[in-house]
Structure 1
């Protein structure tokens, strides 16, 4: 019987060993002095710029010359200052060498298999008379 009581006492003490005692206030502390560890708040995540970029606005129109991309089936619009990967352009109008104007939305983060130009989802394609 004593052996069983000893085993139960050991199990009880082992179960309590993993628990932590609640924090206690310092034994002697003068009024007005805080000896506790200061709490430092976690840094806030960086904020994104709220300034809209013209390239991100829906319905913008860009003009340039169409060329074939380095991958088959990819059409690039070169504006002279930027290159756009035309996605959904009318392929009867947007052919290599043609000067066109496209209206749509640039999506710099869009995934494509083409390796050049800013992805541009075309809503309207028209040839420029020149």
Structure 2
């Protein structure tokens, strides 16, 4: 009876040793875990501007052409850092500023009237709202 218990235990030990030895013999390196990025690894990049070119290729400002939109409401914080939103009856707008002074005028919780242009095809890391290029802000 003792032999029937020892043989399976030895067989298991030999199989385990063979598997462990096989991983190093194949020449494949053991996977190394990458460290998770820390808050200091995140870099804020400048936001894209809504500049267009004029009829002769001359750059124009990001100011809206005829038909610019005006939205009014209370600025809220997005789920991602540094993302500001403004909602109206048409939905949520992700506020994108070319001028830091205008961004300061649109602090979270402030009531504002904003003029600019929606850019629904613009990519954003904020993951909320339709990007809206802001050209003017009025507190109110």
Q: Which residue of 1 aligns with 2:75?
A: 66
In the TM superposition, residue 108 of structure 1 has moved relative to its aligned partner by: 0.6
Q: Deviations over 1:33-70 (max 9, x none)?
A: xxxxxxxxxxxxxxxxxxxxxxxx75211111100100
User: How many residues align structurally?
Assistant: 73
Q: 1:93: how far off?
A: 1.1
Question: Which residue, out of 101, 112, 115, partners 1:103?
Answer: 115
Q: Hey, what's the Cα distance between the residues in 1 that align with 2:111 and 2:68?
A: 19
Whether 2:129 is the aligned partner of 1:120: answer no
Give the conservation status (yes or no) of the 8 Å contact 1:65–1:79: no
Superposition TM-score, scaled by structure 1 size: 0.51
- Measured on the aligned residues, the alpha-carbon RMSD in Å equals 2.0
5+ residue gaps, structure 1: 1-56
Q: Name structure 2 gaps, 5 residues minimum.
A: 1-65
**3-state SS in 2 of match to 1:91:** helix
Distance 2:136 2:126 in 1: 21
SS in structure 1 at match of 2:131: strand
What is aligned with 1:84? 93
Structure 1 distance, partners of 2:85, 2:117, is: 15
Give the match's secondary structure for 1:110.
coil
TM-score in terms of structure 2 length: 0.48
How far did 1:91 drift?
A: 2.1
- In the TM superposition, residue 81 of structure 1 has moved relative to its aligned partner by 4.1
Larger Rg: 1
